[in-house]
Amino acid sequence: MADLSLSPRSALAPFLHAGHHGAEGKTGVKLREVTACALAELTAFKGQKAALIKSTQNAFGVALPAANKSVSKDGVTFISVSPGKWLVTGEGAAEHDLVERLENAAGSLAAVVNQSDARAVVEISGDKARSALAKGVMIDLDPAAFKTGDAATSFAVQFWITLWQTNDAPTYRLAIFRSMGRDLLHWLESSAAEFGYDIHG
Amino acid sequence: MKNSNRLASGGLIDRAKPLSFQFDGKTYQGYAGDTLASALLANNVQLVARSFKYHRPRGVLTAGSEEPNALVELRTGARHEPNVRATMAELYEGLNARSQNRWPSLAFDLGAVNSLLSPFFAAGFYYKTFMWPAAFWEKVYEPLIRRAAGLGKPPLSDDPDSYEKAFAHCDLLVIGAGPAGLAAALTAARSGARVILADEGPMLGGRLLSDRRIIGNQSGLDWVKAIEAELGSFPNVRIMPRTTIFGVYDHGVYGALERVNDHVATPPAHEPRQRAYRIYAKRAVLAAGAIERPHVFGNNDRPGVMLGSAMRTYLNRYAVVPTKRVAIFTSSDEGYATAQDLINAGASVQAIIDSRKDATISAPKDVPYFKGAKILRALGNRQVQGVEIELADGSTRILDCDGVAMSNGWNPAVHLTCHQGGRPVWDDKTNAFLPGKLPAGLSVAGAAQGHFSLKDTLTDGFRLGASAVDDLGFKAHAIAAPDTDPESLAHIPLWRVKTSKGKCFVDFQHDVTDTDIELANREGFRSVEHMKRYTTLGMATDQGKTSNISGLAILGEASGRSMAEVGTTIFRPPYTPVALGALAGHHVHKGFRPTRLTPSHQWAEEQGAVFMETGLWLRAQYFPKKKNESWLDAMNREVEITRSKVGVCDVSTLGKIDLQGKDVGTFLDRVYTGTFSTLPVGKVRYGLMMREDGFVQDDGTTARLSENRWLMTTTTAGAGKVMAHLEFCHQVLWPELDIAFTSVTEQWAQYSIAGPHARDVLKKLVDPQHDMSNEAFTYMACGAITICNGIPARLFRISFSGELAYEIGVPNRYGDALIRAIMKAGEEFGITPYGLEALSTMRIEKGHVAGGELNGQTTPRDLGLIKMVSQKKDCIGKHMSERPAMLDADRPIFVGLKPKNPQAKLTGGAHFLDKGAKPSLDNDLGHMMSVAYSPMLKSWIGLGIVKRGRERIGDTIRAVDFVRGTEFEVEICDPVFFDPQGERLRG
Amino acid sequence: MRIPCPFCGPRDSQEFSFLGQTGLKRPDPNAPDAQKQFHDYVHIRDNKAGLTKELWLHANGCRSWIVVERNTLTHEITGSEFASPLTKEAAQ
Ligand SMILES: [Zn+2]
């Protein structure tokens, strides 16, 4: 066989330009694409939610979160996205065996679908992250209303998003359809420009 | 240049920052803190505009956003902006403004001749005069009227500035930062509630910036500063100056416009000019204050005639004496405060003309004072040069003056309370319309509620700020309103001076006079809504902020009704005009809607592909081989190579839905016309999906990947709708079924490889352990494989082109690499990429239905797909698709169409008629749905529906397109033009 | 306008798409007058002025079909619930 090997490419790779952008002399926002991260959707079958919670608790050491919440342990994050449905991310060792571990835990209790390539995931942090996001995100991100561990599926600018907060910096992660990555980035960059922003490759 | 009307000291301007600016080409000087209006008045520029209809000279009437007269064009070039209120435009270095609506110059305006023709321009003029001939409306009358009567001209080039949208949330939104608003914000802020305090001006304080008042033991200004400082210290408070709350919407949603950079020449880099907010507020306090009423007397629109409150604003806030010899026309005790402020500033008060016979307040010393008197008219043209007054005894006399200050009571700014349909209610005690039914969550404080005294205003603010947040569970500590200096607000409004001489303007911006309203009444337009539309009162860009109430009063007087009986029209958003650019925000040009890019996008760009939009997706339309290759030539080449060798096309955009669970088969049987529960694992079946009304909504293939796991594909454009439909069927119709859906459209990059060499190309990619032979991997087979040394992939042997074809899907991260690998592997076979044009041509050659046919008006029977509808079971839409009319033999049915002349360029949408038949609905046989040039048949071909078409194969009919002006003879034929036996795809 | 999603909480109406009146039962396809029943099911609506129960999809959110109680005269929304008992159970 000829040299027909396939090398992978992340969703935003063609559009990311590392370095400082926007207003000079300040960095209110930091942006980076979250790569090396597996994604899956876990959907409980009819009447199996309680059993699924028990089984994933055993396998992952955490309880599946309720509406508008996320939980993390050992590189695995469960994000509640719909009744009986979770978006799961896996980093570090979990990047490579997330789907398999989920399938083992789920058995016949839930559908597991690999979505590792279906979303572009962006991380936004910095003291102006909230102000930049507020130029499109319609939900309230004030610490009084949205804290570390909180999550939402919502609409921003013109994208269906899943958003969750990972720390108090604050740092947010935002997942959207991969095909819209370029537009998402364009919006984020124009929203962050007045605060000055860094893109980390 | 000297500021001849500027006081030597005082005011809230920054004298250390002089600014120069231009008006109508002349350079003037002002200071930071000025508005354009205050700076013009400081330079004694009184004539600033011409009126809308009569081109009358106009000056500055107010000092706020209610200004009807002083509209100017601001900035130049692409940043040019018409109809800017000079009273709101903050001065900046180099500001360039021009008067508008005049020709050739402001001082000498030929349009003023309209004034002589004013009998023709009276109310209803347009309706009465320009009735006939109708053809003249568009070509003659309207352009003439538009040129003669109009406001500023819009810029013609693209706006170089950017605009943003943003969202904000709070417990309490306080609208207006005057004393009531500040009090409300402070109480709420201290309780810990999240507060947004918005004001349309650049400074907090409201009337306290304009009137010298005492609150507690400090000046009004110091009180404002103290509160502002305290509010600024709270992390839970957001102060938004230069922000107008322009609309109140359902459920606590407020529209706000922040003029981020209107006060500078050009926005700093990376900053927008304006930002439109949607504010979600649990509660709101409206503290928008009130707008003073003008008097309606002869020539009351002359430059120099000004609201008394505005005059005090210019004196105290801007240290400008607008005019130096002022006649005070008042129906309120407030006129005396204006007189006192003028005297303090060294101006001369020529007289106080008080319309009240028994006013009890005493006039300042040495000021001529007439009780029960009225101004009949102002004298002078480009500026007031005196007034003719009528004394209580009926005698008249002329007074010398160069300005008039009017005080006639206040109209509460109830505008926002109307945005949910609330109608203001007349109150005889305050002589004002007060808020009616309020939008949920909104309360009204201070002057906006008709509580005009400073003490009452503060009391309201503290109280309503507290009750709003207490409602939400906060514990606000009551704050008592401090005492304030005494004020006298008694007034008896004088709606108009009946014995006036000359034109008496009610609506300054639309040039509506008292006699226009009387005329409307005489002609039967007695309802306020009718009068408004007939006279256009209140319909200008200021929505009649200074005119509506006087207009209603005059209508009441003319028709013998009380104010309460007349009632009022309501105000609608926006409170003040909002630029469309701000509403569009980010959504301009390509940002208007998202563009979805395919996995092969970058590669296709490198190939010079021409793209087209399908839904939100950008897909390759064709791949021109050399520059200037036409779409038709490129498409022909792509089809010919695909049909003779091999081609590849990105089909990742098709919707893909992963279905799992033990009831998926049952579910599919119910949503598809065909039976799927019998589909073996490893096989694919074509499916047709109807809506419940019996019309086809989508089609696609569904593969059974394992016993309980299936993969459905939908059309590109239908993906979102189908997903919602399936979720409806599951959640609402059949929740008992055990299924789980997940959209996987974006997980997989998928390519169709089609043509006689498709298998040869594929073999070079697929890992060797997989048997790709025709026998092992048959038509309509599917399976999980690996390619290129272990990359997981899914393979489907399905064909839209009619050729031997495979669709191969890989995780999206490999999508870019895979298209390059396919092209490389196919090189030796002469592979071509093909775009949507070739894809479409090939499917038309094969008679496959697609977007043109799945138009929401066709049943399976119409599309010749009745065999796809299982008769053994029910499915969504089955009963409705079998209604008698749907099965009528005369209902047009799907056929192919071939022109008698192969080069006749058929058109979609053409209607079919028999030869010699007149083009009428009765004779209509159907219409063309899709057309293409077929390189295989060397002819244009079409698909369409024809009445009794299957029985008429071989007949010749006409395809008539009245829109494009073409008519061709076409032969009715089978819709499958190419390879009718379907031998190629099984090869 | 804001709509309370029983799963996500109050959200901007931009996140939702509207279907129509709720409480319609899909007819039994085997009923002797099934065609007539389907006609009514597809086309006949109360079109009430006042308090209505409507089906909305939280399309740009959790993808739940929900029933929203809304007064068409005032736009007041007085409640919402999951359209499906299954979704309700899964949301617990
Ligand atoms: Zn929801």
Q: What is the 3-state secondary structure (H, E, C) of B488-503?
A: CCCECCCCCCCCCCCC
What torsion do the CA atoms of B238, B242, B245, B251 make, to the nearest 10 degrees? -20
Nearest Cβ partner for B194 among A8, A117, A144: A144
CB contact, 8 Å: A49 with chain C? yes
| Bridge partner list, B511 | none
Q: Which of A118, A138, A145 sits opposite B812 (nearest CB)?
A: A118
Amino acid at B22: Q
Instruction: Kindly give the distance from the C-alpha atom of residue B693 to the centroid of ligand 1, in angstroms, as a whole number.
Output: 28
Rounded to whole angstroms, the Cα distance separating B64 from C23 reads 53
- Please tell me which of the candidates C42, C75, C85 has its beta carbon nearest to residue B693: C42
Phi (first) and psi of residue C71, to 5 degrees: -95, 115
B280–C64: do the CB atoms touch at under 8 Å?
A: no
Of C49, C40, C46, C38, the closest CA to residue C22 belongs to C46
CA separation for the pair B886, B67 (Å, rounded): 63
Residues of A in contact with C86 (CB under 8 A): 46
pLDDT lower than 70: segments of chain B: 1, 103-104, 110-111, 113-151
> What single-letter DSSP state applies at residue B140?
I
Residues 6+ apart with CB under 8 A from B511: B51, B52, B53, B54, B56, B121, B505
Residue C74 structural domain: 2-24+34-91
Q: What distances in angstroms separate CA B550 from CA B494, B497, B508, B523, B566, one per listed residue?
A: 9, 11, 12, 20, 12
| Nearest C-alpha neighbor of B702 from the set B733, B676, B730 | B676
**Which residue do the tokens 């102002």 mark?**
B378
- Distance CA(B160)–CA(B581), nearest Å, equals 11
Among the partner-chain residues A47, A83, A154, the one whose CB lies closest to the CB of C64 is A83
Cα distance from B660 to chain A (closest Cα, Å)? 6
Give dist(CA B353, CA B392) in Å, integer. Answer: 10
What is the nearest CA distance from A25 to chain B, expressed in angstroms? 13
Residue B727 contacts C where some CB pair is shorter than 8 Å: yes
CA distance to B5, B375, B724, C26, C54, per residue, from C23 (Å) = 73, 68, 18, 10, 9
Look up tokens 């207006």; give the residue.
B176
Is residue B85 a contact partner of residue B63, using CB atoms and an 8 Å limit? no
What is the DSSP secondary structure assignment for residue B138, as one 8-state letter?
A: I
pLDDT-derived band at C88, boundaries 50, 70, 90: confident
Which helix or strand (DSSP H or E) is residue B843 part of? helix B836-845
Quick one: which of B871, B730, B879 has its CA closest to C40?
A: B879
The SS3 assignment for B951 reads helix
Which segments of B512-547 does DSSP mark as H helices, in order? Answer: 514-522, 528-535
In a domain, C53, yes or no: yes
Mean pLDDT of the C6-30 span: 95
Q: How many domains does chain C have?
A: 1
CA B503 – CA B299 distance, rounded (Å): 5
User: For residue B97, which amino acid is it?
Assistant: A
**Among the residues of A37-144, which ranges form H helices?**
49-60, 94-106, 129-133
Choosing among B253, B277, B279, B879, which should be mutated to test the C contact, i.e. which has the most C CBs within 10 A? Answer: B879
**What ranges make up the beta strands (E) of C1-92?**
2-5, 9-12, 17-21, 51-57, 65-71, 77-82
**Nearest CB to B594; choose among A140, A178, A183:** A183
Q: Is B560 left (phi over 0), alpha (psi -120 to 50) or beta?
A: left
Distance C5 CA to ligand 1 centre (A): 5
Owner of token pair 């402020």: B341
- In chain B, what's the furthest Cα-to-Cα distance? 116
Most C CBs within 10 Å: which of A64, A155, A158, as the mutation test of the C interface?
A: A155
Size of interface B-C (CB pairs under 8 A): 67
Alpha-carbon distance B230 to B237, whole Å?
Answer: 10
Q: Scan for tokens 């990619």, then name that residue.
A: B765
Residue B922 — φ and ψ, nearest 5°?
A: -65, -35
Helix (H) or strand (E) holding B939: strand B939-946
The answer to whether C8 contacts A154, with C-beta atoms less than 8 Å apart, is yes
> Which residues are B386's β-sheet partners?
B379
pLDDT for position B354: 98
Partners of A49 on chain C (C-beta within 8 Å) are 89-90, 92
- Residue B480, number of CB atoms within 10 A of its CB: 9
The closest alpha carbon to B834, from B607, B513, B514, belongs to B607
| Domain segments of chain A as ranges | 13-35+118-200, 37-114
Q: How many CB atoms lie within 10 A of CB B963?
A: 8
Tokens standing for residue B342: 């003028």
Cβ proximity of B401 and B326 under 8 Å: yes
User: Under CATH, what is the fold of the domain A37-114?
Assistant: Alpha-Beta Plaits (3.30.70)
Judging contacts by C-beta atoms under 8 Å, the chain A residues touching residue B740 are 43-45, 110-111
E strand spans, B294-453? 305-307, 325-330, 348-354, 369-371, 374-379, 386-390, 396-399, 403-407, 410-412, 425-427, 432-434, 442-444
Query: Per 3-state DSSP, what percentage of chain B is helix, strand, and coil (rounded to 5)?
Result: 25, 30, 45
Q: Quickly count: other Cβ atoms within 10 Å of residue B921's Cβ.
A: 6
Q: Does B784 touch chain A (CB under 8 A)?
A: no
Chains sharing 3 or more CB pairs under 8 A with chain C: A, B
Helices of type H across B876-961:
878-881, 884-887
What are the tokens at B208? Answer: 């306290």
In a domain, C29, yes or no: no
Its pTM stands at 0.94
- CATH number of the domain that C13 lies in? 3.30.2270.10
Tokens matching residue B3: 């500021």
In this prediction, residue A1 carries a pLDDT of 47
- Residue B364, judged by CB atoms within 10 A of its CB (0-12, 13-18, 19+), counts as middle
The answer to whether B957 faces chain A, any CB pair under 8 Å, is no
Distance A47 CA to ligand 1 centre (A): 20
* Contact residues, chain C, for A51 at CB < 8 Å: none
Q: Which residues of B270-279 are buried (b: 16+ CB within 10 A; e: fewer)?
A: bbbbbbbbbb
How close does chain B come to C83, measured CA to CA in Å?
Answer: 6
Cα(B602) to centroid(ligand 1), Å: 35
In this structure, the number of other CB atoms found within 10 A of the CB of residue B920 comes to 8
Shortest CB distance from A82 goes to which of C12, C15, C64? C64
Cα–Cα dist C57/B240, whole Å: 35
**Rounded to an integer, what distance in angstroms lies between the CA atom of residue B459 and that of residue B446?**
8
Pairing relationship of beta strands B610-614 and B791-796 according to DSSP bridges: unpaired
CA–CA gap between residue B780 and residue B761 (Å, rounded): 19
| Window 3-42 of C, Cβ < 8 Å to B | 10, 12, 17, 19, 26-27, 29-30, 34-35, 38-39, 41-42
Partners of B166 in beta bridges: B277
Q: Where are the beta strands (DSSP E) in B176-308?
A: 195-198, 214-215, 218-219, 237-240, 243-249, 253-258, 274-286, 290-292, 305-307
Residue C12 domain flag: yes
Q: Smallest CA–CA separation between C3 and chain A, in Å? A: 13
Task: Write the residue in C10, C34, C84 that is nearest to B732 by C-beta.
Answer: C84
Contact B735 C55 (CB under 8 A): no
Q: Is residue C13 one of the residues assigned to a domain?
A: yes
* DSSP symbol at B147: H
Residue C75 covered by a domain: yes
Helix (H, G, I), strand (E, B) or coil at B557: helix
Q: If DSSP codes are grouped into helix, strand and coil, which group holds residue B466?
A: helix
Structure tokens at A47: 């009447």
Residue B238 backbone dihedrals phi, psi, to 5 degrees = -120, 120
Q: How far is C88 from chain A (nearest CA, A)?
A: 7
Instruction: Give the DSSP H or E segment for B471.
Output: helix B454-471
Neighbouring chains of A at 3+ CB pairs under 8 Å are: B, C
- Interchain CB distance below 8 Å, B594 and A137: no
The reply to whether residue C12 touches residue A84, judged by beta carbons under 8 angstroms, is: no
Determine whether domain A13-35+118-200 maps to CATH 3.40.50.300. no
